[in-house]
Structure 1
C-alpha cells in the first residue's frame, strides 16, 4: 500500500539554489534546512498541511521523480518488479527503480507516526502578488507511443489509483484519494525516453505564466489550455487552466 506520494524536483547543481528560490516562491513554501552528505536535499514546506514536495541537487540536467512511501519495502519492490520494474539501487530505507519505460521512481519506508489525517488539506494553493491562485498538484509522465500502453498499465496496477476520463485522447489521468498529487499520462508524438514534469493549475493561465517569467522562468510554448515554461534550471514544466481548488478542467 502506498501511504504517501512525494514529488521530487531534481535540478542541476549549477542552478540548484536559484531553482529552490523559484519553486519555494511559486508554491508559497519555506525551505527546510539542507540535508544529505553534500547538502543535496531540501523539502519545501507549505504554509499549512503536510509537506509533499522535495528538491535534489543532481549532476545531470535534472527532471522529476516520485518517492512512494510504503509500509513494507521488500514487498513493494517484489510487486513492482513483478509488474516489469527494474531495481537500480538499494539504500537502508529506500530502493530506486525504473518503470518498464525507464521512468525513475523510489520506494521509501513510510513513517507511520506521520501518516496524514485524511481531513487535512493536502496541497496549499499559492497566490501571486496580483491575487492569481495556482497550485502544483500534478505530475505528468511523458511516454513515447511504443511505451504508452505498458507504462500506463504499470502505473495503474502499481498505485491502484482509479483512472479518470480526460477530454483529449493523448492523455489519461490517475488520481489517488488522500494523495497530494495526481498523475497525468501523456502520449508523446516522438519516440523519446520516458520523462516527467510538474504541472500547476491556475485561475489565470497568462497571469501565472507572466509571474513565473518575472521570477526567472522562460516561456516556451503557448496553447489555449496550457503554457510550457522552463524554470531557472532549464527544466520544462507547465501551467494549466485547471481549477487549482479541484484539479479539474472547468
Structure 2
C-alpha cells in the first residue's frame, strides 16, 4: 500500500524448469486497487513487470556503485533477467564490450542475437572470463557460487539478482570478504549469499539519499537484490498510468 499509488497484490511463483521450456522462470500476476475505495483497477502481467523493475533496480544500483568510467560487462545467466539487467546497464553507462556465459550454448547464442541492438560488442565467454569486467551480473538460480573472489578484479561492481533463497549461492565467501555490500531490503539478509555475513550492510535507499559506498577505484561493490513489494507497486502504478494515457489494455466488468 502506497497512498498515492494504490494497493497492489502480486501472486508470483518461481518455476526453475521453465528455462528448459523457453519460458520465464518467474511467473506472476499483479492486482492493482484504488487506495481510497479498494476497487480493483487493473489485472496486470506480473511476469513482465517483475522483469522490468528488477532490471531497473540493478541499473540504479550500478549507476551509484560502479565506477564512472565502467564500460565492460560480464553477464552470467542468459535468461530474461540477464537481458533486463544488461538493457538497464546500457542506460546508465556507455558500454563497449559485453561477455556472456550460460550453461546452455543455444541460450547464449540467442541472447547475443536478441541484444544485438546495443552498441556494445557482445561475445560468448566462459564462466571465468565473464567475471573479469567492470560490472558483473549474476542472474542464475545456482546453488553453488558462480562468482569467485579470487577472480574478480579490484574496482569491479557485481550485482546478484538470481539466487534469492537461503539455499542458493551466486557469490563465494572470498568475494563477500573483499566487497562492500548493498542490499535492496532487510529480506536480502536471508539469502544464501549473505545469511552468514555479520559485517556492515547498506540498504540501497541509503545510497540514493547520499550514503557513499565506493570511496576508491579499487573498491569492489556488491549489490544483492531479492525484490520488494514497493518495487512492484511502483511499477504497477506507473504502468497503469501509462496504459490510461496511451489507451492500452482492455476494459472489462468483473
Same fold (TM over 0.5): no
Higher strand share goes to which structure? 1
Query: Shorter-chain-normalised TM-score: which range?
Result: under 0.3
